[in-house]
Amino acid sequence: MSVRSIRPFEPVVKDAAENFHGMQVVYLCWDKHLMFYAPIAKMLPPTLTFGQLIDAEITPAYSRHPDFAKIDWSAVQWSKDGEAFTPALDKSLRENGITHKTAIHFNTPGLNGINGSGF
């Protein structure tokens, strides 16, 4: 039994989707670019398209990195909660199966941080 308590206990899920005012949390991580120290958390409308995610969210979040301008977006490898996937750029986050607290990682082959140090 995973609940050990002295009286009945109904946990409150602090980060339930309904607490985010119609938005959802999405985590983004550009692998091998630890300059940004950790994956980032964004609160986004589920109707945002994947193309908009790249232009309006990923770009300002990561453009400071010298590798960013060199990214060949057609070669980027995406994963969603650890599973490889191919996003449809014109489809919404929801239509791409990106739900509340999904973690999206992306890998940019050939670009592995400053001098390949993963930074």
Partner 1 sequence: MDMPVKKKKLGLKEKYALMTRDLGWEPSYEKHEDVFPLINYEGLKIHDWEKWEDPFRLTMDSYWKYQSEKERKLYAIIDAYNQNNGHLNVTDARYINAMKVFLSAVPSLEYNAHRGFARLGRHMAGVGPQVACQMQAIDELRHAQTQIHALSNYNRFYNGFHDWKHMNDRLWYLSVPKSFFEDACTSGPFEFIIAISFSFEYVLTNLVFVPFVSGAAYNGDMGTMTFGFSAQSDEARHMTLGLEVIKFMLEQDPANLPIVQKWIDKWTWRGVRLLTIVAMMMDYMLPKRVMSWKEAWEIYFEENGMSLFKDLARYGVKVPDCVEQIKKEKNHISHQAWTTFYAAAPMTNFHTWVPSDEELDWLSEKYPETFDQYYRPRFEFFREQAEKGERFVNPNLPQLCQVCQIPMLFTEPDEPTQTAYRQSEHKGEKYHFCSDHCQHIFDDEPEKYVEAWLPVHQIMQGNCFAEGADPTSPDFNPIASVLDWWHIENGRDNGDFAGSEDEKNFAQWRGMATSNN
> Which of 17-25, 48-56, 68-76, 86-94 is the region at the interface with partner 1 (rule: CB under 8 A)?
17-25
> Which of 45-53, 68-76, 89-97, 107-115 is the region at the interface with partner 1 (rule: CB under 8 A)?
107-115
116 Cβ partners below 8 Å, 6+ apart?
none
Whole-number Å distance between alpha carbons of 40 and 61: 9
Q: Which residues of 40-60 are buried (b: 16+ CB within 10 A; e: fewer)?
A: eebebebebbbebbbeebbee
Site for partner 1 contains 31 (CB under 8 A): yes
Q: What are the residues binding partner 1 (CB under 8 A)?
A: 2-6, 9, 11-16, 19-21, 23, 25, 27, 29, 31-32, 34-43, 60-61, 64, 81-82, 99-103, 105, 112-115, 117-119
